[in-house]
Amino acid sequence: MQSSEIAITGICAALYAVIGLLTSFGLSVGGVAFWPAAVIPAIFAVLFGPWVGGIGASIGIFIRDVIYHGDPLLSLTAGVTSNFVMFFLLGYFTHIQINPKKIGLSIIVGGILLIGGLLIPTFLLPTESVLFTGLTSSESIALFAVIATASVLAFIAVFAFKKEWRAFSVGTVIGQGTGAAIVSFAVWGYSNLFFSQNGYFTAPLQMSFIPLIFVWTVATEIPFILLMGPPIINACYRAFPSLKLLQKDERKAN
């Protein structure tokens, strides 16, 4: 990385940490916060490349987590790893030539898995679901239905009507899906290995809630990335046209 990229990575990390602290509003499921701040490293990953987005997100989430819950090991296990992979992949797929039609079936299957991940634990384990989320089954279904619908509509809108952002939307889905899988298993594993009465987790999480954490992670980040990312990135392109020209050159090279 060049010195300018290192400086930009630091800016990404600082913005991510601060905005993450200010916009989570205390909402979380399984220790995973409501996270509109995900749009910050997504923007940096598109403008400056996958390494800037991935490393900036990793540093930023670590700073935020240490300030918020004071458990650096939890952050290194779940937050740092998932954020790096998530935004590195988003930036990578945005900067290469891809054929989105070839992965349409994968997206459909992923949507089915998202819905299943919500419904299975909520309907089959209603008591545990209430204890885990703090919401009744009907409230959980309503909340996730709204968020999941917003995610699907945002993806369809960008994919269908903004052709120049198709690679970005595909990268978002792939990055978010992979990152959410990492954080879901990591949080579950951490809660079972390191929980204590004085720690962040007072009881181990059941494996049956991995799909619920996965759905929450994806559905509370994708709408903000897809709806807020393109207009902000376009504004940056208008202010600094050289960024867009550089991205075109990288796509041709790849």
pLDDT in tens, 29-66: 767 888 889 999 999 999 999 999 999 999 999 999 89
Domain that holds residue 185: 3-253
Task: Answer yes or no: is pLDDT of 88 > 70.
Answer: yes
Tell me the three state secondary structure of residue 200: coil
Beta strand 28-29 pairing with 32-33: antiparallel
Tell me the three state secondary structure of residue 150: helix
Integer Cα distance of 170 and 148 in angstroms: 17
Q: Which two tokens mark 32?
A: 């995973």
Integer Cα distance of 248 and 163 in angstroms: 15
The pLDDT of residue 172 is: 87
Domain count, the chain: 1
Percent of the chain with pLDDT over 70: 66
Residue recorded with tokens 């990385």: 1
The pLDDT of residue 160 is: 63
Q: Note whether 167 and 96 are within 8 A (CB).
A: yes
Residue recorded with tokens 């007072």: 202
Q: Which two tokens mark 177?
A: 């899906």
pLDDT bin (cut points 50, 70, 90) of residue 233 is very high
Using alpha carbons, select from 152, 151, 159 the residue that is nearest to residue 100: 159
Cβ burial of 12 (10 Å; 0-12, 13-18, 19+) is buried
Which carries the bigger pLDDT value, residue 103 or residue 5? 5
